[in-house]
Chain A
Amino acid sequence: MADRLHAANPLIEARQVEKYYSQDGETRIQVIAPTDLAIYPDEILAVLGPSGSGKSTLLRMMTGLSAPSAGTVTWHGQPVTGPCENVSIVFQSFALFPWLTVLENVEAPLKARGVHADERRKRCLKILDTVGLDGFESAYPKELSGGMKQRVGFARALVVEPEVLFMDEPFSALDVLTAENLRGELLELWSDKKLPTRAVFIVTHNIEEAVLLADRIIVLGKNPGRIRTDFRVELPRPRDRKNPVFEQIVDHVYKVLTQPAAVPALDATPAAGTTPATKYQMLPHARPGGVAGLLEILADNTGREDIYKLADELAFEIDDLLPTVEAASMLGYLKVSEGDVEITPEGRVFAEADILERKELFRHAALENASLIKQITRSLEKKANHKLSDEFFHDVLDEHFTEQETRLQLETAIVWGRYAELFDHDSKGKSFFIAEEVPAVNPES
């Protein structure tokens, strides 16, 4: 394990921390499984994972903002009960106070520590200079561009000289060029030892970003969130994206992220019409139109493609592409192996069909492979009036998912059901129903 390579003591250490929410005291939704994680001095630690893997929750537990449901977090060996004494967070949404000027925003944490006014001003001006905000002291955040705002976020975080600098997807609200630029500057400051911080903990869903920045990468899996791999990146800085080793690491991370088979009972394994196993199958949040688009691209090319390259070509974040890939593979239109996707014969047929045929094909594939779609359809067929309230399905899903996920599952199911013309949903009456004239056979085909 990576931890053993460290001679130093960890700055912040989590032991067997987990997070769960209990619903009506009975069922309990596990968000993060018991996890060990330590932050050591002089390292940039990147945490990667798909959405819903609890990256941000983990960050908030490490900072002491959110208490773990079980397990302990220690700071220099002492248990953490409130927000840690000397950490900072750079937020995805910047979280600046719009009614304070740039200078007042940066001064605020020092004010909280009772630093004298003159000293405060001196330190703020210095840090504003470091992050390249010279001359913007009296501007208000709303007058600044996104990149400049995040610079203020960095200045505010660094001005307290935090032991650990936490960053929660700090670049994902910025455009590509701005993000690249800021990342580069951050790395330069870190390499030149100009950052007044001993360690950096960054949460991201951008794999290249992680490989560019980190000394150590942790990849999280979901349902529940847990560490799937934890390894060191020994590339010298500055790192070159074209370097074969760099590409190899990126590829490795992609494989971990796209290889649900490596871990038993993950959501994307098609249960192929059988009763759901112990783990409830999760519908990937993808649209049928997206699945069709992906298959068309694959069919038009060689039929086999590296996911990473595909995402890159389509200018997609992996987070946005993965659900579509998962959906296509659940329906039997794709095979995923070693970070590559390959279209199946069924997928080719689907890609080449016209719209009405596609609906037909999709209907069969969804009924066969997507247990939630099948369950909703069968339940509705059993009812005499072909109508069931949302609550019914909420109750079914509540045992397996968080409240928010339940809602997303049903929303996805509605989109799929409508596309397949299996069932429809009445948002006013809050119920699922089968329309009277559901066409068993398309009149035109």
Chain B
Amino acid sequence: MTSPATSSSQSNQRTWPFLIDLAVFGAILAFLCALAAIGRYWFGAAVPAAEISRSPRALPLYAFYSLVRMATAYLLSLVFAVSYGYIANYSTRWRAVMLAILDILQSIPVLSFLPGVMLAMVALFPTRQMGVEFGSIILIFTGQVWNMAFSFYASLQAIPRELREASRVYRFSRLQTFFQLELPYGAIGLVWNSMVSVAGGWFFLMACEMFVLGNRDFRLPGLGSFLQSAASAGDTTAILWGLGAMIAVIVLIDQCIWRPAIAWSDKFKFEQVESKASGGSFILNLLRRSPLLNRLRHSVVTPLSERAYNRTTSQPDQAAPTQQPLLRVVAGYAFGLLVLAGILWGIFETFRTLRTITSHELVVTVESAGATFLRVAVSLIIASAWAIPAGVAIGFHPKLARIAQPLAQIAASVPATALFPVILLGLISMGGGLGIGSILLMLLGTQWYILFNVIAGAIAIPSDLREVADLFHFSATQRWLTVILPGIYPYLITGLVTASGGAWNASIVAEYFHFKGSVLSTFGLGAQISSATDSGNFALLLLSTMVMATFVVTVNRLLWRPLYRLGETRFRLEN
């Protein structure tokens, strides 16, 4: 492929735009075809338990179905996250409640949403495939949305005061404030969190595409179900094919979506002084040069936004406020009552469901939570043990970083769940079991959070601090205790918090696995949630979920938050 950077010759200048346009046109056409295909599939008769082929020839279609699910779930997450963050930012009354809800929902694993979501969706569209599909999409959604919502809310809160004042004094409408101030300010955080979220989506794809719910079997054609059935059958060739297809899709998405998105979001960096360019994107450059897209922007997007702004401009005398109060108060009360009724009903239902729980089950649940807790702790310790030194080495040596960082990024983007069957095969042949396997899976899924955060922290340590350590011949211990660990501390904590949350969530797939026609499981809360879903034991599922949420939220409050605060006050490197 010829590099676009060197295309300075005249002929290239002329042929490139045409080729780009052709590609853009082709992409639009493909998109329309895909839409038609997916429409036909969604509105077709419901096939909740499709026969999953293990032939490589089925892979392109399966990859397409999975991709559509992921994309729809992601778009849903984006819209929800932005709205949720926006409302939480502006509604001083609901803010505290909304943040607490986010905190709790974030700690609930996807499978716990499964029965409610699935049964509701199937009941909503009993005869169409759409019902099952939507159920799966919403499951993926519940694994992606929370951190994005947090990120957008935090960005809105961090907008500098004078920028807010400027948009008020120049009478920006809400729409203009949103598009010219709030969305741009939150864009970088949204892009990075989107990447993390979508990676999480791939991680749980197997669980979201194929599951048993009591006596009902759900199997949706897709990459996740392909891998799952290959694992159940112990078909190594099929596993490898599926794994290859998944990695190909992920790398493709990385190149076609995330790289351009990151390069594009660079312009939203809030800085007054230009910093070094942080790497461009080939595809973004191409798109920017497409005459077709430029013309589209000029003749469609600009006039439309123009009309939207005109419609929302602030009128000299606003007549609205006069009729507002009464209506607002009534609506507020009505909404409040509705929420209250919902909560009461929820509590009532919870108690009704939990009635069947025996005291023995309660004890076992708490014990299994302890077991999972230990597993999470061990996986965090192992991850830290290798990721901290490696991260610091990469952060301190730019040369090493150039080689290691892209490799690590590729390794991190492979969903550990897809690798899991291969690893299990190896483990079993060596005489190990799921006890070790589950820790390994948690490790595979979460160690990257620690690694990448440590790298960022090590890069942020000012070089003069390191020079001081060199100058005074600090010993290795002294260097680690006075320069490196305090320097990376806030980043390390961020990484550990994310990793711990991820590990808890991963326990549902790590401790309970359909493998070679039987179920492998080990004692733990994740296994309990999975088996409760399988057997349709809603009471036990509810109980385990509540215990898990309580555990995670408590650990966050008692351990991570104080540590985090310490990092913000004491170990902050001010420039």
Contact = CB atoms under 8 A, between A and B. Distances in A.
Do A and B belong to a common assembly? yes
Interface of A: 60, 63, 65, 83-85, 87-89, 91-95, 97-100, 108-109, 111-114, 117, 140-143, 149, 156, 160, 427-428
B169 A97 contact: no
Contact of A89 (B160, B166, B173): B166
B316 A85 contact: yes
Contacts of A89: 165-166, 169
Given A91-B162, A99-B184, A117-B306, A108 B172 contact: yes
Contacts of A95: 160, 162-163, 165-166
Contact of B570 (A88, A97, A143, A428): A428
Contacts of B274: 142-143
A114 B272 contact: no
A156 B166 CA distance: 10
B171 A112 contact: yes
Interface in B137-169: 160, 162-163, 165-166, 168-169
B513 to A, nearest CB: 47
18 contacts: A65-B169, A83-B168, A89-B166, A94-B272, A95-B163, A97-B181, A98-B268, A98-B269, A98-B271, A99-B267, A100-B180, A109-B171, A113-B314, A114-B313, A140-B267, A156-B170, A427-B570, A428-B570
B313 A113 contact: yes
A93 B180 contact: no
A87 B268 contact: no
Contact of B165 (A65, A112, A143, A427): A65
B309 interface: yes
A210 to B, nearest CB: 22
Contacts of A100: 180
B171 A83 contact: yes
Given A114-B313, A142-B274, A143-B274, A109 B170 contact: yes
Contacts of B267: 99, 140
B160 A108 contact: no
Given A89-B166, A97-B180, A112 B316 contact: no
A89 B165 CA distance: 9
Contacts of B169: 63, 65, 83-84, 87-89
B310 interface: yes
B326 interface: no
Contact of B268 (A85, A99, A156): A99
A112 B176 contact: yes
A85 B317 CA distance: 10
Question: Is the contact region of chain A dominated by helix, strand, or loop, or is it mixed?
Answer: loop
B272 A141 contact: yes
Contact of B272 (A87, A109, A111, A149): A149
A91 B165 contact: yes
Nearest to B274: A142
Contact of B184 (A88, A97, A117, A149): A97
Interface residues of B, number: 30
A98 B171 CA distance: 19
A357 to B, nearest CB: 33
Given A98-B269, A98-B272, A108 B180 contact: yes
Question: Can you list the 7 inter-chain pairs with the closest CB atoms, starting with the nearest?
Answer: A114-B313, A109-B170, A95-B162, A95-B166, A99-B184, A142-B274, A91-B162
Contacts of B270: 98
Nearest to B266: A99
A112 B160 CA distance: 20
Given A65-B168, A65-B169, A143-B274, A93 B184 contact: no
Find the residue from B168, B171, B310, B316 having the highest chain A CB count within 10 A.
B171
Nearest to A87: B169
Contacts of A428: 570
A95 B272 CA distance: 10
A220 to B, nearest CB: 20
Given A65-B169, A88-B169, A111 B269 contact: no
A88 B170 contact: yes
B310 A114 contact: yes
B162 to A, nearest CB: 4
Interface in B280-314: 306, 309-310, 313-314
A156 B167 CA distance: 11
A141 B163 CA distance: 14
B170 A142 contact: no
Given A112-B171, A142-B271, 18 more contacts: A83-B171, A85-B316, A88-B169, A89-B166, A92-B162, A97-B163, A97-B180, A97-B184, A108-B170, A108-B172, A109-B171, A109-B172, A111-B176, A112-B170, A113-B314, A114-B309, A140-B267, A141-B272
Interface in B297-340: 306, 309-310, 313-314, 316
B176 A108 contact: yes
Find the residue from A142, A160, A427 having the highest chain B CB count within 10 A.
A142
A113 B181 contact: no
Given A91-B166, A95-B163, A117-B306, A142 B172 contact: no
Contacts of A85: 171, 316
B96 interface: no
Contacts of B166: 89, 91, 95
A112 B168 CA distance: 10
Contacts of A141: 272
B306 to A, nearest CB: 6
A111 B173 CA distance: 10
Contacts of A98: 268-272
B1 interface: no
B63 to A, nearest CB: 35
A111 B177 CA distance: 11
Nearest to B315: A114
B273 interface: yes
A88 B169 CA distance: 7
A87 to B, nearest CB: 7
Contacts of A92: 162
Contacts of A83: 168-169, 171
A363 to B, nearest CB: 30
Find the residue from A93, A98, A100 having the highest chain B CB count within 10 A.
A98
B304 to A, nearest CB: 13
A88 B310 CA distance: 21
A83 B173 CA distance: 12
Contact of A112 (B162, B173, B269, B273): B173
B570 A160 contact: no
A91 B160 CA distance: 12
Given A65-B168, A83-B169, A111 B316 contact: no
Nearest to A427: B570
A106 B119 CA distance: 54
A160 B171 CA distance: 11
Nearest to A104: B180
